[in-house]
Amino acid sequence: MPARKTKLFLHLKKWLEKAALDYSMIEPGDRILVGVSGGADSISLLDLLNTSMLHVTTDFQLLAVHVDLGFPGSDEDAGIIEGHLRETGVPFIIERTDIGPLAHSETNRKNPCFLCSRLRRRRLFEIAGEKGCNKVALAHHRDDIIETLMINILFGREISTMVPNQSIFRGKIRIIRPLAYIREELLKKYSREQGFPLTAGRCPTGTVSKRAVVKRLIRDLEKENGKVRENIFKALYHVKPDYLLGHGLKAPGTGLKGRADNIGAE
């Protein structure tokens, strides 16, 4: 079923194409695997990629892939997603796994989100290789990029985030994020406008994950300054390495007892 070309559709399409052009995401002859979780972000991404382009090449093919994580009730969700994918006309694969329960097992209680994400992504890459796809499109949006930066600073002790076009496996596959310029709230609004059949999140730790904590933190900060989210995003374009502690530093631990990681830890 083709998307209704509303004002919001044209707005999202404009920013998707701008991101694709800015970061050279889509090139002639590409075969792109699109990860479809069943949420507003991934369903919207597939829909936008599956409509005519104005400024980006149309010489590419899509393959939609849904990885069923195996949580209780997820089989029902997979059925809903499969029904929607049939209507899009895009070739698709429904991959059923036990990744969710495995990641939340007793042996991995400390970090289920990391393992779940890693295994799900690994399966997407494996399918991409099997089906001859040279790119994997993920539905990470502007807010995901902002939140990932904060997660990595607060919990990972590094300044980094997702990038719109990333080479992996020595260039054999590239991860692209065409929604990099688009806000999450607009994707949710678009999914409601188009009447997409979205599925409920089945993850038992979704509301207590590090990402959920950072989402709440940013929302609280926005009560004092409505531009907080915008400022964080723009800061990624205004990095000043000369004013970071790592600039000009000798090898970690040189001249001091202990590692640089432990400075000020007492």
Q: Which residue has the tokens 């993850």?
A: 203
Structure tokens at 193: 């406008």
Kindly list the domain boundaries of the chain, sorted by start residue.
Answer: 7-214
pLDDT, tens digit, 9 for 90 and up, residues 23-49? 999 999 999 999 999 999 999 999 999
Does residue 261 have a pLDDT over 70? no
Nearest-angstrom CA–CA distance, 39 and 191? 9
Output phi, psi for 223, to 5 deg: -65, -30
Whole-number percent of the chain with pLDDT over 90: 71
**At which residue do the structure tokens 């409920």 appear?**
200
pLDDT tens, residue by residue, 125-166? 999 999 999 999 999 999 999 999 999 999 999 999 999 999
- Asked if residue 263 has pLDDT above 80, the reply is no
The token duo for 179 is 């929604």
Question: First CA to last CA across the chain, in angstroms?
Answer: 60
- How many whole angstroms separate alpha carbon 229 and alpha carbon 218? 7
Q: Count how many residues are written for the chain.
A: 266
Mean pLDDT (the chain) is: 90
pTM for this model (two decimals): 0.90
The CATH superfamily holding the domain 7-214 is HUPs (3.40.50.620)
Paired tokens of 101: 């329960």
**91: phi then psi, degrees, rounded to nearest 5:** -55, 145
pLDDT band at 104 (very low <50, low <70, confident <90, very high): confident
pLDDT in tens, 67-79: 998 888 888 888 9
Neighbours of 147 (CB within 10 A): 25
Determine the pLDDT at residue 262: 57
Stated as kind and residue range, the H or E segment containing 257 is: none
- pLDDT of amino acid 258: 52
